[in-house]
A and B are shown apart, each in its own frame.
Chain A
């Protein structure tokens, strides 16, 4: 239980150990630890940021989707409207065309009728003239009675 020179030997050993630890053991290890800590912190921060960005992107995507839906709905509405318009328009056009056709047909009928009347009048007058001629063959001088015949044929034409 005596204090002796062992004390001095132990102090020397201790000093050497502390010096060695201070010089070669502590610095590289604590440096590695601190560096790793920094790296982990960085990684965590990056992960958090990534998550935030993802949330933001999801929100944005939802917005875009909503907008696209709205847009497509608008387009469909517009198209429907336009289709209705086209149908209405073509209906109008068809009606007009029909009217026009009817009118043309009527005009043609009228014309035909007039021509037929004219024709009939001519034929009737010719027939009448012929008949009258046959009856009055001898008495009527064509040149003398030209005025009279013309009057009659005109009257016939009017009838």
Chain B
């Protein structure tokens, strides 16, 4: 038979002065853990959110990112006549060639420069990416050196407000609109007319080709493209291309796990200290329970529970502390495209649960030794220990 839960709960609470710092300590550990993981989750989500399940992306054989790929105009012409490409209402094939240029722009607040992806995109290219929505201003017009900018990017970089302009490659580019990429990788891009981009940045070739095709035809289409010696391109589903780009999150996860492990060791020591003190101060109480007929196991479980309750409270505090950072947007370097990726901290219910489980495990591990000690106290201690 176990001790009543309310006994353990109240025992934790009555010592609140000495347990508060431990609870808080565990809370901070959990907060750091959740924040780091939410950073990784947000980063992964920005990649996973991108792409249309009906789209195929074509890049040069061997290249792992659009930025390092090249597609010649001849190749693009050949591709346009491929069967299996879906057509729009007017009977035009849904295929678009993009040009990607990395440009270096100053961050707001003199925080250095970062590379940003400029995507030269066609009308069809926009049609193929319905995730992207214009939120303010208007769309760019070809031949006028106009660009539209992700709203999230505009918040982080100088001169990206509507009506403002910035200089790159000796040309002045005018910002005429802001768009929202719906938490996708496009939130880290600047869009402009495809032909403008090629002429301004002196590019003969396109970077990549995006097309829409019925997934049942993908096998045939891939075969046709990859076996054509003139093309030498590889075909990847658009969603897969972006989900492959989550490698940037790996070091963040690594750092998060390392921190959580190291800090949890400290937290376990703190929990141990608190619980040992609690056991020491309650020697007589434990003895009394034993005299009343409670078995060793009940005492053991009772103290383990107290450790768990203590840590759970800490975990709750940690969750609360980390919540304000949810949806806070930040940026870092994407290794694969070598450009700034803008993303949000993303605290999911799953992460909260993980944080709480993490806290409770710290509590259980920390209270194990003190609980064993408590359960081994001699019964007669209830009469001495004065």
Query: Do A and B interact with each other, yes or no?
Result: no
